[in-house]
């Protein structure tokens, strides 16, 4: 029966994370340590109890689009909603990638970039950037010039290294490529700047955001794209209809009203990030890397019981 499956899928191992119940401390998915406050859960639960479950939600919640647009200072037509930012990345490749198209990014980074490029028969082009080293901009620009990638991916702050690209470097990349620049800003709230500020100058940048980290909504799956209005219009054609359920929509709308409280949590985590980084550097045998995200990448001796 496997003859029905694409060869590009048959050769994959797929996406996997370690079993969550086998570890005393779970850190590998960079989730928020804070759950959504109980009173907010209760409010959303009461609202969902009165909503009709037998009806489809309004496709692409106009209220959610408007509130996100107001937050980021863009038009609602520049935003695309998704069932998590990973689903939207799949939408992006569905709309853009043809067999043999090149996708350029540095490694190590988020594993789904390679996985989905393979699924869509694209060609991943990986340029190493070991933890703690500078961004290989010159090599990256040469790859753009010689390979003309359909898609260039920037994850900043980067998963799993925490490395943050500077605004000027991102602008250089946007100017260098004739393709689309996908800017994964999953950890953007923990950074000191946002790529949204580049939209007015660069039509070819597409920004991905999520409520999984700073907004503590990893379990409800909500993400969105911000980009050029014409690009978003084309991506909307292939995006899954009704991909944001009413529960997630109501929770996201309610949490947007609590942005100040969410920001207080982000500020606290940034203070703790600096403190923990300084303390880890004091421990012999431990190597820790500077981070602009809500996590720290740490290397230790083999005898430590750590997940790799």
pLDDT at 25: 75
- d(CA 166, CA 135) in angstroms, rounded, equals 10
272 falls within a domain: no
- d(CA 10, CA 13) in angstroms, rounded, equals 8
Total domain count, the chain: 1
Under a CB-based contact definition with an 8 Å cutoff, are residues 106 and 129 in contact? Answer: yes
Helix (H, G, I), strand (E, B) or coil at 33: coil
172 falls within a domain: yes
124 falls within a domain: yes
Domain residue limits at 218 = 38-256
Under a CB-based contact definition with an 8 Å cutoff, are residues 269 and 262 in contact? Answer: no
- In sequence order, what are the beta bridge partners of 287? 299
Per-residue pLDDT of the chain (308 residues; tens, 9 = 90+): 778 898 888 888 887 776 666 777 778 889 999 999 999 999 999 999 999 999 999 999 999 999 999 999 999 999 999 999 999 999 999 999 999 999 999 999 999 999 999 999 999 999 999 999 999 999 999 999 999 999 999 999 999 999 999 999 999 999 999 999 999 999 999 999 999 999 999 999 999 999 999 999 999 999 999 999 999 999 999 999 999 999 999 999 999 999 999 999 999 999 999 999 999 999 999 999 999 999 999 998 888 777 66
Under a CB-based contact definition with an 8 Å cutoff, are residues 195 and 205 in contact? Answer: yes
113 falls within a domain: yes
Count of all residues that appear for the chain in the document = 308
Angle between helices 167-176 and 137-147 (to 10 degrees): 20
93 falls within a domain: yes
- d(CA 103, CA 283) in angstroms, rounded, equals 39
- d(CA 236, CA 210) in angstroms, rounded, equals 18
Phi and psi angles of residue 80, each rounded to the nearest 5 degrees, phi first: -125, 130
**CATH number of residue 69's parent domain:** 3.40.640.10
Which residues make Cβ contacts (< 8 Å) with residue 232, sequence separation at least 6? 77, 78, 79, 80, 225
292 falls within a domain: no
24 falls within a domain: no
225 falls within a domain: yes
pLDDT at 20: 65
Under a CB-based contact definition with an 8 Å cutoff, are residues 180 and 152 in contact? Answer: yes
H/E stretch holding 280 reads: helix 259-280
C-alpha distances in Å from residue 306, one per residue of 24, 92, 277, 281, 288 = 11, 34, 18, 17, 14
Helix (H, G, I), strand (E, B) or coil at 112: helix
- In sequence order, what are the beta bridge partners of 124? 103
Strands 205-210 and 180-184: parallel
Q: What is the DSSP letter of 244?
A: S
Cα torsion 251, 296, 274, 162 to 10°: value is: -80
Under a CB-based contact definition with an 8 Å cutoff, are residues 242 and 56 in contact? Answer: yes
**pTM given for the model:** 0.94
C-alpha distances in Å from residue 280, one per residue of 76, 96, 135, 170 = 43, 43, 24, 30
């Amino acid at each position: 029966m496997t003859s029905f499956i694409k060869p590009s899928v048959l050769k994959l191992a797929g996406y996997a994370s370690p079993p969550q119940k086998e570890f005393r401390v779970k850190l590998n998915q960079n989730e928020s340590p804070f759950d959504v406050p109980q009173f907010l859960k209760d409010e959303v639960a009461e609202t969902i109890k009165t909503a009709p479950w037998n009806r489809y939600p309004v496709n692409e919640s106009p209220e959610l689009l408007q509130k996100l647009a107001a937050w980021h200072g863009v038009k609602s037509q520049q935003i695309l909603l998704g069932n998590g930012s990973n689903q939207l990345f799949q939408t992006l490749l569905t709309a853009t990638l043809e067999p043999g198209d090149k996708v350029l990014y540095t490694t190590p980074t988020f594993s789904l970039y390679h996985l989905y490029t393979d699924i869509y028969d694209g060609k991943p082009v990986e340029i190493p950037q070991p933890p703690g080293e500078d961004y290989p901009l010159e090599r990256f620009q040469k790859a753009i010039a010689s390979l003309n990638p359909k898609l260039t991916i920037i994850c900043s702050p980067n998963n799993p290294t925490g490395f943050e690209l500077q605004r000027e470097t991102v602008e250089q990349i946007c100017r260098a490529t004739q393709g689309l620049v996908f800017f994964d800003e999953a950890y953007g709230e923990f950074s000191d700047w946002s790529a949204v500020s580049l939209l007015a100058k660069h039509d070819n940048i597409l920004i991905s955001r999520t409520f999984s980290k700073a907004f503590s909504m990893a379990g409800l799956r909500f993400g969105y794209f911000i980009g050029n209005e014409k690009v978003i219009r084309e991506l909307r054609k292939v995006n899954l209809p009704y991909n944001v359920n009413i529960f997630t929509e109501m929770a996201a709308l309610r949490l947007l009203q609590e942005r100040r409280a969410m920001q207080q949590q982000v500020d606290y985590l940034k203070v703790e990030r600096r403190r923990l980084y300084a303390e880890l550097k004091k421990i012999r045998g431990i190597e820790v890397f500077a981070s602009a995200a809500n996590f720290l990448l740490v290397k230790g001796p083999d005898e430590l019981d750590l997940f790799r």
